[in-house]
A and B are shown apart, each in its own frame.
Chain A
Amino acid sequence: MTGSSGFSRKLAAACAALAVTAPAAAEELRIGFLAPMTGIFAQVGKDMANGFQMYLDETGGNFGGAKVTLIVEDEEGKPPVGVRKAEKLVRQDKVHMFIGGLLAPTGYALAPVSTRLKTVYIASIPAADDLTQRDLAKYPYLVRTGWTSSQPHHPLGQWACEQGYKRVAAVAADYAFGHEVVGGFQKAFEGCGGRIIQKIWPPLGTKDFGPYIPTIKQSADAIFSLMVGPMALQFPKQLAASGNKKPVLGGGTSYDEFVLPAMGEEVIGHVSALQYSAALDTPGNSSFVKRYRAKYGKVPSYYSESNYTTAQMIHEVMETSRGKWPGAAQFVKMLSAVKVDAVRGPVRLDEMRNPVQNIYIKKVERRKMFGYEKDELWNTVIKTYPDVGQFWKYGKQQFLKQPVYSRDFPPCKYCE
């Protein structure tokens, strides 16, 4: 009998040990973060991770009592690598959620992983429209805290009409993100009486626009461009060198704060739209820019802001749950209900878990901001469209009936 009682005593001790450790483990919030750390997108990846890390540092990594453990993985800007790293985060590191991915295709690749592994995925940057539109039903654990590609460009189309532009030529990087940005702009612009008279699609990564710029129609009132990364630096330069006098509009990434510091006089006066501008003149943003710049030595881009705000939204949920992980499904529900006063302005999620937020029409200007000594290029906000959702003014039902924006949709019916 002594043997058996010894065993039961050990068992009791083991149970007691479990009971002691279990709540401690529940108060750890494990977050996986996917961003490119090597390769051509490495610097963007740093902006993303820095934004999130800064929020953690400022809150001491304490979300309503839960201690946050952040695990950053290098997704290299390649969708298949993103998938493998997400698998690693969930299976080996047992994260509660994974966040990030840079490119739209990476978002499309990560969303099914979240469904398969029943783990929350927060798309803080990938903007592929259909993730929170036609495909959402497939991804019950997906929440987006960033934007859809077409979201800022619907208002920009409207704005272009208000400027009296009638005929616009579009030059955009030839891939899904470019198609969706141009699609959004075209739909809104043609809806208020404008005409897209030409669409030129240079391949992604084009550095020499020599073959494209001369083909821009002289009859256009303005040029709409969507560039990413190094393309964004080259296009305005070569356009200016060709003697262009037309006004230039751009998609959000053509002039975001990630490319802006490397640009010169050639972009002054260019207008673009996005949910964030580092030159946003609010106390919240002014303080954010100063803190970020002091810490990382550069002006924050929307890549930083979006992830900072994502951390803030997660914090909000964990405050409500008092640091307890509510389970994946419940977490998605709670996160969808969060309303925050973010750096970029008020943010809430629509019923398809995409942010409803301010869209800023921004003009590149050389000026001093926030008490910095030097004249620098800033995206001065010239107009704010408040409370813009992913369906703009079309209504969800109506909008979802049309196919996703693509190279051929909306059709270019005014092309000459």
Chain B
Amino acid sequence: MSGRRKLAMLIGVLAALAAWAPFAGPFAILLITQALVLAIVAMSLDLLLGYTGLPSLGQAAYLGVGAYLTAILATRYGFGMDWSFWLVIVLGALAGAATAALFGLFAIRATGVYFLMITLALGMCVWGLAYRWNSLTGGDNGINLPGRPEFGIRLADDLTYFYVVFGFFVASLGALHVIVQSPFGRSLVGIRERELRMRVLGYNTWLHKYIAFVIAGGFGGLAGVLLAYKNGLVSPEDVILTTSVDVLLMVVLGGPGTLVGAALGSAVVVFLREYLSTLVHWWPYVLGGVYVLTILYLPGGLMGIPEHVRRWRLRSANH
């Protein structure tokens, strides 16, 4: 499929989603919003995992930093409940990026499974702070937000809020797409394929990876702000390892190195976790089964299916 046709298809799907939203049920709209927020985190991780080859297991940390910043500003200073919402968005993204800038200093030196372990540990540090720093984060009680912002438009309305999140999702997708298509993005792919070679070619690979790490943190922080307003509650459960693992699996499930795949993975995981769990009590088995089957049979994730089908057809045609 040509690039242009892919783009047309993507725009078609997004437009259909936006057009369908007003007709979705009141619970469905919340789930879609949830999926879009997590899709932003998953896409940010895809920048690391899919394009740079860095399997981070601590992406929830930046989500948490953004979310807690939002909740603390809203409850202590009443900040972010009107037009200052936009400022909180910027602050959240900056806080996520700043945290990543700090963590990157420790993490980027490692590769492969060691990188995985370090990011996991750093992520757990953020969880530990959320859980234990009672005076700031409310400990395991978390923080209840006073509501959603209102600045001419009332974000308390779930449909309105969906469109805001949808806007941020499309913008994030666009921005990340531009980044991965840029020369900088190509150099990340080069690092993923063979770092030594890139270094020999004169690239400062450490710096490239570091910058990618910080950018991913920024998008994580942004998603955190959106998540906090969406749920009306920030809890250590949002920052816990499970969230990081979920995000990693969203990317793997959807297909790393595709961005759109991460969003698709997010949709599937949120559907299974939040919707299937309202129907049957054995939903964790389905979730587990989907993960196992994907990793065994779909190394390219869901986005790899068309490629699989084509190859399978070619093979059967040759026989």
Contacts and interface: CB of A to CB of B under 8 A. Distances in A.
Q: By CB atoms of chain A within 10 A, which of B26, B233, B238 has the most? A: B233
B123 to A, nearest CB: 17
Contacts of B144: 108-109, 112
A105 B25 CA distance: 28
Interface stretch (A80-88, A270-278, A296-304): A80-88
A74 B277 contact: yes
Interface in A60-112: 73-74, 76, 78-81, 83-85, 87-88, 91-92, 103-105, 108-109, 112
A87 B233 contact: no
Interface string B5-25: 000000000000000000001
Contacts of B30: 84, 87, 91
A80 B284 contact: no
A88 B27 contact: yes
B188 to A, nearest CB: 33
B141 interface: yes
A407 interface: yes
17 contacts: A37-B281, A38-B284, A79-B235, A80-B237, A83-B231, A83-B233, A91-B25, A92-B26, A92-B27, A104-B141, A105-B140, A108-B144, A112-B232, A112-B233, A175-B140, A176-B139, A407-B134
- Most chain A CB within a 10 A radius of its CB, from B25, B142, B238, B278: B278
A70 to B, nearest CB: 14
A79 B234 CA distance: 9
B34 interface: yes
B45 to A, nearest CB: 20
Given A105-B142, A108-B144, A80 B233 contact: yes
A128 interface: yes
B274 interface: yes
Given A38-B281, A105-B141, 15 more contacts: A38-B283, A38-B284, A73-B278, A76-B277, A80-B233, A83-B231, A83-B233, A84-B274, A88-B278, A92-B27, A108-B142, A109-B144, A109-B233, A112-B144, A176-B139
B26 A78 contact: no
A176 B231 CA distance: 22
Contact of B232 (A38, A78, A83, A91): A83
Contacts of B238: 80
A286 interface: no
Interface residues of B, number: 24
Interface string B115-157: 0000000000000000000100001111010010000000000
Interface of B: 25-27, 30, 34, 134, 139-142, 144, 147, 231-233, 235, 237-238, 274, 277-278, 281, 283-284
Contacts of B278: 73-74, 85, 88
A402 B155 CA distance: 37
B235 A105 contact: yes
Contacts of A105: 140-142, 235
A176 B140 contact: yes
A406 interface: yes
Contacts of B134: 406-407
A176 B25 contact: no
A73 B274 CA distance: 11
Which of B26, B134, B140 has the most chain A CB atoms inside 10 A of its CB? B140
A374 interface: no
B34 A176 contact: no
Interface in A24-47: 37-38
A146 to B, nearest CB: 17
A93 to B, nearest CB: 9
Contact of B142 (A79, A84, A88): A79
B141 A176 contact: yes
A116 interface: yes
Residue with the greatest number of chain B CB neighbours at <10 A, chosen from A79, A113, A116, A406: A79
Q: A-B pairs with the 3 shortest C-beta distances?
A: A91-B26, A92-B27, A78-B237
A73 B27 CA distance: 14
Most buried by B among A74, A81, A84, A105: A84
Nearest to B34: A84
B277 to A, nearest CB: 5
Q: Which of A74, A104, A407 has the most CB of B within 10 A?
A: A74
Contacts of A88: 27, 278
Nearest to A88: B27
